[in-house]
Structure 1
Amino acid sequence: MRRTLLTLSTLGLLAGTASADLLEEVRFGVLQHNICVQDCNNADKEDGPNINGELVFKSPNFLSIIWSPRPYVMGSANTAGNTSFGAVGLTWDWEFADGWSLELGEGYAIHSGELESPFPQGDPRGDAFTEKHVLLGSRDLFRTSFGLNYEFSDSWGGQILYEHLSHGQIIGSGRNQGLDNLGVRVIYKFGG
């Protein structure tokens, strides 16, 4: 619970100090933690939903060469004390109908979860440990996200969000069980 409050307080502080000229959106929501998408052997090992908050900034001019993605900073705190993380990255939006858009995000995350089992191979305590913990293999992870957004008004919107965290054997090696989260968020747009 302390991690959740710390994450939300930090995002609130960042939102309060960020220039109104730069900050475009604030997002808060709840995501089901570690769902089954492809490899269900590692799904549901950790309990508790994640409380998620994100600040999205206006796209700087120099990013127009890559279709003007918007920078973000986010935090996700697990309510059961399992893997929490923070990330920074870029997000691209494509409006496909009036009020509806698809969003793709790519970023870099640092997490508080387990990397490897602390017990040697063959130790029965290791089996019990790996039954309850996702072994992420690297403190650094990629964060890939997909969102379906809907505008309720000029200022308010909603989002269904899927996110995947993994090191992909690129920024880490060894274990790479990854995490998949799915949930909903509320979006507040400044200047709406």
Structure 2
Amino acid sequence: MKLKLFCSTLLLAVAGIAAPASAKVEEIRLGYVDNIRDDHGEIVEGKHSGGNVEFEIVSSSPDFLNIIGSPRPYLMGSFATNDEGVNFGGFGVLWRWEFADGWALEPGFGYIIHDGEIDNPFADGTPEAASFEADNQLLGSEDLFRTTFALEREFGDRFAAQLYWQHMSHGQILDSGRNQGLDYVGLRFSYRLDPDPAD
């Protein structure tokens, strides 16, 4: 597991350093999300209360991504506002479709590593195990897929606001077993260094 986490961290670092020369930073984003504590479709009370502050950098789409619709790569970090939260960071790609003047939809897909709980360290059936599971979502893997969907409203050429949702889980692909996942909903604001974002 430690080797897997090390390799995942190394992959994140390489992705950030080895960004294609043809891509340039287009947007800087700052947001706040709250964990809706979704566990396989059911709201789980009392787990990971509190929100996260998120920072994201979005670049232009490099030419080699044209084959999948020219999504824009991003790097992001999410930082819990209290000790009960989960910190995570990662990278991925975002597609953007403007459907009306000043309005756009933005689906995305990525990969993150996190510091949340993976498995229950206590023996099944013990009071300690029940208490631990009542307080923690068991994510099953140190690295997770991140799926996002945002509704964007532009304010002029350089500013925008987004209402967005994100779901993180290993999907039984990165690992097997427990996979309660994390779901967050929030609001973020964007500043565009390039006033003409991808359509």
5 Å matches for 1:29-178? 29-36=31-38, 39-42=41-44, 44-81=46-83, 82-178=85-181
Q: Secondary structure of 2:132's match? A: helix
Which SS does the other structure have where 2:65 is aligned? helix
C-alpha deviation, 1:130, in angstroms: 0.6
Q: Does structure 2 conserve the Cα–Cα contact (< 8 Å) formed by 1:36 and 1:44? A: no
Contact 1:100 1:151 in 2 (8 A): yes
CA gap of 1:43–1:56, structure 2 versus 1, over 3 A, is: farther
Kept in 2, the 8 Å contact 1:104–1:147? The answer is yes
User: What residue ranges of structure 2 are gaps of 5+ in the alignment?
Assistant: 1-15
Across the aligned residues of Structure 1 and Structure 2, the Cα RMSD in angstroms comes to 2.0
Output the TM-score relative to the length of structure 1. Answer: 0.86
| Contact preservation (8 Å) 2:37, 2:47 | no
SS of the residue corresponding to residue 125 of structure 1 reads helix
Q: Which runs of 4+ in 1 moved over 6 A?
A: none
Tell me the SS of whatever aligns to 1:117.
coil
Moved more, 156-165 or 44-53: 44-53
Contact 1:34–1:45 under 8 Å retained in 2: no
Structure 1 gaps of 5+ residues are 1-13
C-alpha contact (below 8 Å) 1:115/1:137 kept by paired residues: yes
Question: Kindly tell me: are residues 61 and 164 of structure 1, through their superposed partners in 2, closer, same or farther at Cα, counting changes over 3 Å?
Answer: same
Contact 1:34 1:44 in 2 (8 A): no
Contact 2:56 2:74 in 1 (8 A): yes
Superposition map of 1:175-186 within 5 A: 175-186=178-189
Shift of 1:36: 4.0
CA distance in 1, matches of 2:132, 2:189: 35
Name the % identity: 47
Instruction: In structure 1, give the amino acid aligned to 2:146.
Output: R
AA paired with 1:176? N
SS, match of residue 96 in structure 2: strand
The answer to whether 1:189 aligns with 2:183 is no
